[in-house]
Amino acid sequence: MALDLGDWTTDPDDAVREVLLAVKATDGRPEVDATGPLPREFEGGLHLLARVDSAPAGYAHLDTEGDSHGHQVAELFVHPEFRRRGVGTALAQAVVERGDAGLRVWAHGDHPGAAAIAKKLGLGRQRELLVLHVAVSGADWPEPVLHNGFRLRTFVPGQDEDALVAVNARAFDWHPEQGALTVAEVRAEERHAWFDPAGLFLAENESGEIVGFHWTKVHDPVPGRFDGDPVGEVYVVGVDPATQGSGLGKALTLAGLRYLRARGLPRVILYVEGDNAAALAVYNKLGFQRFETDVQYGA
């Protein structure tokens, strides 16, 4: 077996998509399409393609700008046909050698093989991102109750981007990725086929200021994941810190869940930080349970 890692590049070629689509067909992730731009997490930065006997075998992406905490972030994927042949180890080693001292590397699904590679490279668990899920049938999601003059409406493209980004920044100033959301990125999401303004709920105060939001998402069926059914997602729930304790977050969450249920979706998922005890308590009361764990490793 001849393994060739090639060179880091700023311009990924079509073979990168070939690897990502093969991984998606087996693992259900990442959310890459056969055409169009690569997902936002693979934009910019550096790209490294591994080949085995000239065939695309793996891919690593290094976000050199880093997250809002200043950590460069890497993701790597191995084509299902070339797993357990050292491709993942070679890519991980290349990422560690190229990244800076604060590098973080994602392992999706908390696979034992990823843990073994991380240990070999001297990387420890730095962060856990939990994937929770709930079956819609039988879920007790009452109509949301609003207090303090708050009211809900849906997003208006071309009007609400700035206000959404502003409240998002206040809500997630602690978060390494979400807090850095820009207006340009919101507009880019609006161009995706899954985007539906009817599923993006905004909360206004009595002055008409946006003080919270719940952005939902609907995923097309993926073979081998979630029984091959379409699935709804609590994509982002954010509230202005000044409104905390008012019940606004719960009301927004319920509004989005009821919308997803009305769409006829059998299951809803969400991502939440493993150390966010307050959010986990809320989601557990709504019936969510752990489905998967994504781990971020670092020195």
Residue 119 is labelled as binding a ligand: no
Q: What tokens appear for 243 in the block?
A: 């409104």
Residue 187 is labelled as binding a ligand: no
Dihedral sign, Cα of residue 88, residue 91, residue 112, residue 116 = positive
Residue 282 is labelled as binding a ligand: no
Residue 245 is labelled as binding a ligand: yes
Q: Specify whether the CB–CB gap between 5 and 91 falls below 8 A.
A: yes
What residue type is 248 in one-letter code?
Answer: L
The angle formed by the CA atoms of residues 42, 266 and 258, to the nearest 5 degrees, is 90
Residue 76 is labelled as binding a ligand: yes
Residue 233 is labelled as binding a ligand: yes
Residue 77 is labelled as binding a ligand: yes
Residue 239 is labelled as binding a ligand: yes
Residue 28 is labelled as binding a ligand: no
Q: What tokens appear for 295 in the block?
A: 């781990």
Q: What tokens appear for 284 in the block?
A: 């557990």
Residue 218 is labelled as binding a ligand: no
Residue 183 is labelled as binding a ligand: no
Residue 59 is labelled as binding a ligand: no
Please state the separation of Cα 265 from the chain's center in Å.
20
Residue 216 is labelled as binding a ligand: no
Residue 43 is labelled as binding a ligand: no
Residue 83 is labelled as binding a ligand: no
Reported in sequence order, the residue ranges of the chain that DSSP labels E, i.e. its strands, are 3-4, 46-52, 55-63, 73-78, 104-107, 124-135, 151-154, 200-204, 210-219, 231-239, 267-273, 289-298
Residue 217 is labelled as binding a ligand: yes
Residue 247 is labelled as binding a ligand: yes
Known binding residues: 76-78, 84-89, 177, 217, 233, 237-239, 244-250, 271
Binding positions for acetyl-CoA: 76-78, 84-89, 237-239, 244-250
